[in-house]
Amino acid sequence: MARKMGVYAVLAFVLYGLFFYWYLFQFADPKLPFEYEGTNADPATFLNGRELSLSEEYSKIRNLLFFLSTPLEWLIYFLILLFGLSKAFKRWAEDSVKHKLLHTPIYLFWLSLFAFIAVLPLSYISYSLSKTYHISTQSFPSWMKDELIDFWLNYATWLIIVPVLYWLMRKSQKRWWLYLWILSVPFTLFMMFIQPVIIDPLYNDFYPLKNKALETKILTLADKAHIPAEHVFEVNMSVETNAMNAYVSGIGSNARIVLWDTTLNKLSDEQILFIMAHEMGHYVEKHIYWGIAGYLLLSLFGLYLTYRLMNWAVARFGKELKISDTKDIRSLPLFYMIISMLLFASSPLSNFVSRYQETRADTYAIEMTKNPDAAITSFQELTRNGLSQVNPPMLVKIFRYTHPPMLDRISKLEEYEVKHRTE
């Protein structure tokens, strides 16, 4: 039975992959709606023929890799359970040391290492793709270093969560999901607080903006928005990518507005001021805090569903999955798989909310700067340097896009420009 379930799972993954290949490469029509042709949102007006071709090629392959990556994780965890690897990891942990306190860290290490190695080829393909299309400038050793940092950070995080999770399961088999959620609230806030000052610097170097004249202009905008900012930070992303970005991270006194140095190198001061006003819009409208609240609410519902689904799966397929009880550490791959599935299923909702917030930030930025030309050209440059699709297929927009497509963003800026030109 286990072998048959494994075959069905692999077959389902293959059929799923073929569907998205057909959808992205055959079905989805990249043609721009005729009413947008010739406008500033039309990529043909600001990209040359080669850039247009590369953008379509790169986006299709990148989108396919996105839709394959998460279900591949589900398949890996499912096969780990079916073929008894989770049971083997537990046995190796128990045979390695006598102290019970060390069994969970050792088991977690083997599970994490196996999953890391299993998904590494797809991660390398994604890295290689970005190198081929000149998005990434990162060397292989640097990329591998980041992958290893990811591995150890994830391992350290789960090393805190997993022992607590299974202790709660043993203490309260019916309410562990609620107690875990309660504990996750301060943990989430703590992680977001330390991210800008401890986690992010593990990957890149951050320092105050070196262009002091530009910093003065940005701080003047911040003062106008009643934001108590003292510094704007830049990060040396040019060693890794040609793409551009700016963002707000952290909460409370550790919140930071960050500019990639690629953005500083490729955009004018007016364009950068629009982007900074956009980030200030997030701060003024407290999008970070709304995002935290939404995440915590979804995680409460998600943990409850995880509890119900784990109990159902063990009761129905416990023998095939080599799990006798949910509170057995061998059920951890099942926990990972269900959590990942629920996150994927909820992404359309979370992305929709994020796109709404980004639209609000765009509106705030253009009202503050009143420079639609700088705003439009900055979005055009972001599209060119990231080889982004201006008008992505519907499923890509729903599952991938945390920002509105550039077609929507540039069109709204054009509407603003026309409206205020006639006033």
Binding-site members for Zn(2+) are 278, 282, 358
List residues bridging with 179 in a β-sheet: none
* CA pair distance 160, 301, nearest whole angstrom: 22
Distances 212 to 157, 218, 233 between C-alpha atoms, Å: 38, 10, 11
Could you say which DSSP state residue 33 is in? P
Could you report how far apart the first and last alpha carbons of the chain are, in Å? Answer: 72
- Name the active-site residue from 200, 215, 234, 362: 362
Contacts (Cβ under 8 Å, ≥6 apart) of 282: 248, 288, 357, 361
H or E segment at 248? strand 246-249
Sheet hosting strand 233-235, strand order edge to edge: 206-208, 233-235, 256-260, 246-249
SS3 label, residue 30: coil
Could you say which DSSP state residue 294 is in? H
Give yes or no: 29 in active site: no
Q: Residue 287 CA to chain centroid, in angstroms?
A: 17
- Name the active-site residue from 279, 325, 367, 408: 279
- Structure tokens, 175: 């309410």
Give yes or no: 279 in active site: yes
- Structure tokens, 353: 């909310």
Contacts (Cβ under 8 Å, ≥6 apart) of 398: 348, 351, 352
- Choose among 161, 196, 182, 183: nearest CA to 335: 161
* CA pair distance 325, 307, nearest whole angstrom: 12
For residue 249, report the phi and psi dihedrals to the nearest 5 degrees.
Answer: -135, 160
Is residue 114 within 8 A of residue 85, CB to CB? The reply is yes
Helices (H), 225-286: 261-266, 269-284
Feature table: binding site: 278, 282, 358
For residue 172, report the phi and psi dihedrals to the nearest 5 degrees.
Answer: -150, 95
Q: Residues with catalytic annotation? A: 279, 362
